Structure 1
């Protein structure tokens, strides 16, 4: 597999990690919330703001009206994917804290530098992740932080992100936090380890790709 492709799979795999952890629940007790994690709300307004960041970046990158409509059609699940990423960030943060795992700014910069070199430059990396995975340029470092947390948590457990030990740590963090998702944003199939309306490629590639980064 081409190195740029393997690196790009990092983001996709990170979203998939959440699959066995999240179940859709009615959240009538939390009006205005897209999800509640650990008693903390992710509001619909916060979610929409994140989605707007992506749409604005897509519009700037694709000024042609017809091409932009095609982009919209290809990214119809952007809102749900964005929310899942936001929830996953909190779950991973909880699991990482429990395991004593931390990520430094320098590690994020090192990872980004390696990926930019593979992609052919900073702009090329930002464009690739925007086009393929719906990550706005200003959120790229946040996404890399998510990747590093997952990789370092797995290593702290003596495993990798495709092994049961890793999933167990995330499941335990999820149970401690409690996750209440607004059902309008989708449901999760724990047995299939994926969102019920999506295919899931996966986690074994993230470990191979991550091992190339100077973490």
Structure 2
């Protein structure tokens, strides 16, 4: 279970929180949070994903104070969610390039095994929500991501912590020409990771008391 959790943590955008940034939208891609391989991830799609997590978090705790604390502890949720959405596409491209595929049966088998280890379906959903910010309805998508990562690493005769694995993701990032809206930072091709923007015209609004990511 530890190995699988480590992989999930690696690939579910569990990156350090940073100040919330605001900036003008991308002139080249208005309304887009990111463009990956010529396909837009719209701001609305990103917000929907974040709302799915927030709704699941609210349902998981009955106390408003606990919910407020949960929001405070996950202030980077929007950026982390976008990172995950982009990385999902990058990893999928890398897997395709390596001839790696994942079947629905494999995803179900992985889910069944994890449920047995943690004590059932609800326990698994709660674990993925609390530790990786994955809403229950996105659980199987995330498990497919983990399987793609594991199978890609195996195809490359390495593991997900080794340079060879991340080199494959870097190559896929270059092919997909990832472009982030500046308000969400930029995409580091070499690391296949979102980086916070460091531009003088980006304004830190954290101090304004914004509670949602």
Q: Deviations over 1:120-151 (max 9, x none)?
A: 11101101111122111010000000111111
Q: Is the 8 A contact 1:51 1:78 kept in 2?
A: yes
| Distance in 2 between residues matched to 1:82 and 1:195, nearest whole Å | 10
Residue 8 of structure 2 aligns with which residue?
Answer: 11
Structure 1 SS opposite 2:35: strand
| Distance in 1 between residues matched to 2:187 and 2:28, nearest whole Å | 21
* Matched positions, count: 187
Residue 45 of structure 1 aligns with which residue?
Answer: 44
| Distance in 2 between residues matched to 1:124 and 1:165, nearest whole Å | 34
| Distance in 2 between residues matched to 1:93 and 1:7, nearest whole Å | 18
**RMSD of aligned C-alpha atoms?**
2.3
Q: How does 1:1-215 map to 2 (within 5 A)?
A: 3=1, 5-15=2-12, 27-187=26-186
| Distance in 1 between residues matched to 2:43 and 2:152, nearest whole Å | 29
Q: Is the 8 A contact 1:8 1:129 kept in 2?
A: no
| Distance in 1 between residues matched to 2:193 and 2:105, nearest whole Å | 32
* Residue segments in structure 1 that go unaligned for 5+ positions in a row: 19-25, 198-215
| Distance in 2 between residues matched to 1:194 and 1:168, nearest whole Å | 12
**What is the Cα deviation at residue 191 of structure 1?**
7.8
Q: Is the 8 A contact 1:33 1:44 kept in 2?
A: yes
| Distance in 1 between residues matched to 2:29 and 2:143, nearest whole Å | 30
Q: Deviations over 1:22-70 (max 9, x none)?
A: xxxx832001000000000000000000111111111111121111100
| Distance in 1 between residues matched to 2:191 and 2:102, nearest whole Å | 30
Structure 1 SS opposite 2:75: coil
**What is the Cα deviation at residue 7 of structure 1?**
3.4
TM-score scaled by length of structure 2? 0.80
TM-score scaled by length of structure 1? 0.79
Measured at CA, do residues 171 and 9 of structure 1 come closer, stay the same or move farther in structure 2, by a change above 3 Å? Answer: same
Structure 1's consecutive aligned runs of 4 or more residues displaced over 4 angstroms after TM superposition are: 187-197
Structure 2 SS opposite 1:34: strand
Q: Is the 8 A contact 2:33 2:42 kept in 1?
A: yes
Residue 211 of structure 1 aligns with which residue?
Answer: none
Q: Which has the higher contact order (CA 8 A, sep 6+)?
A: 1
**What is the Cα deviation at residue 78 of structure 1?**
0.8
| Distance in 2 between residues matched to 1:173 and 1:191, nearest whole Å | 10
